[in-house]
Amino acid sequence: MPVPFADLQLQYHAIKAEIDGAVANVIRDSAFIRGPYVDAFEREFAAAVDAKHCVSCANGTDALYLAMAALKVKPGDEVITTAHSWISTSAMITHAGATPVFCDTDGSTFTIDPAAIEAAITPRTVGIIPVHLYGQPADMDAIMGIANRHRLWVIEDCAQAHLARYKGRQVGTFGSAATYSFYPGKNLGAMGDAGAVVTGDAVLAEHMTTLARHGGLVKHQHQIEGINSRLDGLQAAILSAKLPHLAAWTRARQEAAKVYDSGLNQIEDVVVPEIAPDRTHVYHLYTIRHPRRDELVKHLSANGIQTAVNYPTALPFLAAYSRFKHRPEQFPNAYADQRSIVSLPMFAEITQEQQEEVVNLIRKL
C-alpha cells in the first residue's frame, strides 16, 4: 500500500464546497488585492492564535523580514537563531541587515538550547529568533528570561506551529512578534504562497503594514521605502474557509502521532519525537531519529512510502554560510541530527492502516 508524505487532495475534497464558494466570492467581487477578504482573515487569524494584531503578507519568509525591519535591525547587529531550521529564518536576518549567529539544539526536542543562547550573546546581540520546529514549542520561559535580562527582542518563528502551546499559552504570544507561513503543506495552508506576522504591539503592527505596502498606508504617500508583500484576496478567502477546521485537523495529527508512537516505541533503533513537559506538539512533521537513516529512506521508498528529511544539512553547514567557517563540534546535536532524522507521512486524514504499513516496514528493516 503506497503512503504519500501528505495528501492535499483529501483535505480539499472534504471541504470542497466551502473552498469553491470562497474562491467564487472573491472573483465575483474582484477583491484580488487587499479588500474585505484579507481584512477578515487578519481578524480571524489574530483571534485564533490569541494575538492582538495580524499583518498578512506574501509568505512566511517576508513575515520574518518585515518583523526584523520594523524592529529596526541594522548592519553590525547580531541576531541569534537555531542551527536547525529552514533557511528563511537565518537568510532574513542577513537580508534585514544583521548577522545570523547560530546556536545548537537541545539534543531532544529539535529546538534551540537556551544555554547555548546565553553563551552566544555579545554586546552586538539585538534579538533572538527561536523556531518552534516541526510543531513543538521551544523553551519559551528560558528564552524570554534570557531576552529580558539582556534587553533583547524575540521573534517567534511559528511557520510550523499553528496552535501549538507552551504551558497552556499559544506560541506566538511570548515575543515582540511571531511569524507564520501558510505554504500549502503547512498545518494551515493556502493554495499558493501566504504568510503573516502577529504582534501585541499596535505601533509595530502599523510599521510592518507600512513596510509591506511600499512604505505608505495612503496611496502615493510613501513615508519610507517599503516592499510589496501582500496576501491576495483569493488566498485570504481560502484560509478563512480552512481556519475553522484547523483545531480538528490538529487533533487528528496528534492522534496519528500517538499511533506512530505506540508502534515505533517497540522498535529498538527508532527514537520517536520527544516532547518536553508542558508543551503541546502540533505535528507539522513527525520526525524520528534512526541510526541507518539513508537505508531506511531507501527501504521505505522501495515500498511506496514517501518520507522527507527536514533538513539534510543543518544551517551552519550550508554553503550559504561557509564564510563563518563553522565546525561540527560547535553544533554537536544539530550535526548529529542531520544524519539521523527522517519525517514520516503525516496529515490529518492519514488512516491507521497506512500508519501500520509504515510501522511494519520500519520494523522489517
Ligand X SMILES: Cc1ncc(COP(=O)(O)O)c(C=O)c1O
**Which residues here bind ligand X, judged by CB under 6 A?**
59-61, 85-86, 88-89, 131, 157, 159-160, 181, 183, 193, 195
From the CB of 62, what's the least distance to ligand X, in Å? 7
For ligand X, give the closer residue by CB, 88 or 280.
Answer: 88
For ligand X, give the closer residue by CB, 117 or 197.
Answer: 197
For ligand X, give the closer residue by CB, 86 or 347.
Answer: 86
Residue type, 27: I
From the CB of 131, what's the least distance to ligand X, in Å? 5
For ligand X, give the closer residue by CB, 181 or 355.
Answer: 181
Q: How far apart are CA 275 and CA 238, in angstroms?
A: 32
What sign results for the dihedral spanned by CA atoms 281, 284, 289, 290? Answer: positive
Q: How far apart are CA 289 and CA 89, in angstroms?
A: 23
Beta strands in the chain (DSSP E): 53-57, 78-82, 99-103, 125-129, 153-157, 165-166, 169-170, 177-181, 195-199, 279-280, 286-289, 341-344
From the CB of 295, what's the least distance to ligand X, in Å? 27
- 340 close to 291: Cβ distance less than 8 angstroms: yes
From the CB of 352, what's the least distance to ligand X, in Å? 28
Cell digits of residue 179:
511569524
From the CB of 1, what's the least distance to ligand X, in Å? 29
For ligand X, give the closer residue by CB, 113 or 157.
Answer: 157
For ligand X, give the closer residue by CB, 236 or 359.
Answer: 236
For ligand X, give the closer residue by CB, 209 or 229.
Answer: 229
Give the SS3 label for residue 257.
Answer: helix
> Measured at CB, which residue is nearest to ligand X?
60
Q: How far apart are CA 242 and CA 239, in angstroms?
A: 5
3-state helix, strand, coil in the chain (%, to 5): 45, 15, 40
From the CB of 63, what's the least distance to ligand X, in Å? 7
What sign results for the dihedral spanned by CA atoms 71, 111, 312, 1? Answer: negative
Cell digits of residue 183:
505554504
Looking from the CA of 14 toward its CB, the CA atoms found within 13 Å total: 12
From the CB of 97, what's the least distance to ligand X, in Å? 18
